[in-house]
Structure 1
């Protein structure tokens, strides 16, 4: 169920944005649709998700109608701060969106389309558990406008999946990819490395299995131990080993080398695509700081410099909307310095890089040292006036950010 709910400034009951807020038609607008349901909770997961026994009266079969109430509320809010913008990207995340009937996902998408319009060529992604993907479901999603599927592969090695408490059948990954392909969808697969007991050869097997599927996009995330998760408790009690930083670095170097050799370019530290057209435009929008509205329990939004986030439990979320109230729990408006620090953190992670002009003058002198240490690309810094991480720099991205901000 994720960590504790963050506090911030109160949000008016109608969800209205701070006085003086104005949106810009020059800034893209994306939509995130959170589906907070899972069959089981994976031991490493810190996302805001709920199994059937944790719903406390919230109804999974009524969820689409509940979320559409927030869509209607968001249109009223955004009408008051500028011209409504058609949507550039849509992302169904979770949880497991494909635990809902495809018709429910289609109704959510139709509601978003009716409220704002969707740009021609917009990227529309659905995350999927491999066990839930069928030809019929893909066809229904495609007919609704979905054009991309992100499949949670995680690993091809059974004992690694068991360590992560992933319950899908590894054989169903190729079945799901094939179904998505037959339905005309772009395909991404997600991998996780550094699970307890996973060796470098285990990881190599998973990378090679992912490449054999020939997806358009591969995400490869290092396992992070989040406070409050089952895995964190197991490590604290000494039941399983903590991730080995050196081994995880070797795993990153392996995946970067193998994917690069196979024609996949990194465009964010953990994300690789076969050509620019297959990059996740929705995730790039987060790293580039554009506007988005996150619908659903615990979802976060960013509109014209204001961040706000919803109550976390599906029952509380539904109760607020049924009462005609905004589901937002709190909001904040970062000041200029906080916003600049965030831009350094996010833009330094992506291939297009961080403009040197975004770095405070007192820290720009550190760029030369980062070049000397092999952490940033010298040509990009000198010719393009941008910070672009080398492979070693990607492994030490936090150290690079500290050098540019502290």
Structure 2
């Protein structure tokens, strides 16, 4: 959802997919991502496709759910017309923005549209992102009643000074409250953290990790802060107002996270994600890393089906105009060639603990295995069993590993 739209070919007005998208579709999972592009304030580090009330150009948040439903219904027709089999949604994920700025009834309306169009698989994972200050106990119970199974709270930090630098508005003391309310409602809980904020110390990061672990969430994400061009934070760094965290500090933060989380009983299953057990790994995100099929609903949303990738117009006003007129909101798309698909397969699968089957690598890639073991970048025992699994050092140097096995 972030940054400028990629280059690609124009998408057809009817959204129809090429025939190759249907090849092997029955063997792939199908997921749905629903983008809610609204925020109360724009955080200085964020370059996601989000809009505050003053940036909506007359679009009403209250109309958005109905517009998203129109795209869901159109998507169902496009998949059928393109010769793809009907598959229930194995995962549904509401992201943003802040989805929970909308009433629960709006989120339920969109979720029910997904169910009406495709069906929702038994035991499906249904997640929404939320800010700690955007929900209360009643809201979370209503989410569970509507069919949601999981909530991911944007905690980011437990240190007020760090939150202020990130321009996050919640009180860190609210996190235990929302986690308890979510638990009482029967929802699984994930907490999202960010490390490497300018001015953050290792002790700050330790405090945030310990505070998060104390809430006993089922899942934690810890992402290194990436300073994107065009953001307020990038301008502050360019002016010298704040000093960015360097690579050595970022590595120290990551190592601390992995150590504390492992000691608390969490296992890493993707470079930036930990869970209490396999049942609480994010199935929706795993579908991305495993190159499954998903349809992205909403302004700026990206989709991928069978090696065809496309993206919607970014602004909510342009999106509304298209879906209300019956035109696909997709503005561009690309069909991945075999070489690109293979590179992406390696890039994505290398990030997850189950790794890449070594036998699936090219001959030059397989010849790198012994060197990667010697350099302590991959797990020797896993390699003997036929899988490339990154070590802690390998996770810190994941891009270098990918270059070596894909050259």
Which band: TM-score by shorter chain? Answer: over 0.9
Q: Quote how far apart the aligned CAs of 1:212 are.
A: 0.5
Aligned counterparts of 2:329 and 2:78: Cα–Cα separation in 1: 13
The answer as to whether partners of 1:44 and 1:231 remain within 8 angstroms in 2 is yes
How far 1:2 moved relative to its partner? 4.3
1:363 — aligned with what?
Answer: 365
Matches within 5 A, 1:254-265: 254-265=256-267
Return 1-10 or 199-208, whichever deviates more: 1-10
Q: Is the 2:29–2:90 Cα contact (8 Å) retained in structure 1?
A: yes
- Corresponding position of 1:4: 4
Cα distance in 2, alignment partners of residues 19 and 221 from structure 1 = 37
Match of 1:125 in 2: 127
Match of 2:347 in 1: 345
Q: Does the CA contact (< 8 Å) of 2:179 and 2:215 recur in 1?
A: yes
In 2, Cα distance between the equivalents of 1:20 and 1:256?
41
* Contact 1:192/1:221, CA 8 A, preserved across alignment: yes
**Which residue matches 1:315?**
317
- In 2, are the aligned partners of 1:92 and 1:127 still within 8 Å (CA)? yes
The 8 Å contact of residues 340 and 358 in structure 1, kept in 2 or not, is answered as no
- The Cα shift of 1:357 comes to 2.9
Encode CA deviations 1:82-114: one digit per residue, 9 max, x unaligned.
221011000000000000001100000001100
Cα shift readout 1:285-304 (whole Å, capped 9, x = no counterpart): 00001000000000000111
> Which structure 2 segments of 5+ residues have no match?
none
1:52-67 → structure 2 map (5 Å cutoff) = 52-67=53-68
Farther off after superposition, 133-142 or 261-270: 133-142
State the 1:261 CA deviation. Answer: 0.8
Alignment root-mean-square deviation, CA: 1.1
- Contact in 2 for aligned 1:343/1:358 (Cα 8 Å): no
- TM-score, length basis structure 2: 0.98
**TM-score under structure 1 normalisation?**
0.98
Query: In structure 2, how many angstroms separate the alpha carbons of the residues matched to 1:206 and 1:374?
Result: 29
SS in structure 2 at match of 1:38: coil
CA distance in 2, matches of 1:260, 1:365: 32
**What is the CA–CA distance in structure 1 between the aligned matches of 2:297 and 2:59, rounded to whole Å?**
16
Question: Is 2:37 aligned against 1:36?
Answer: yes
Displacement, 1:14? 1.0
Mapped partners of 2:14, 2:161: distance in 1: 49
Post-superposition Cα deviations, 1:139-164, rounded to whole Å, max 9, x if no partner, equal: 21111100100000000000000111
Aligned residues: 405
1:176-211 Cα deviation digits (max 9, x unpaired): 111101100000000000001100000000000001
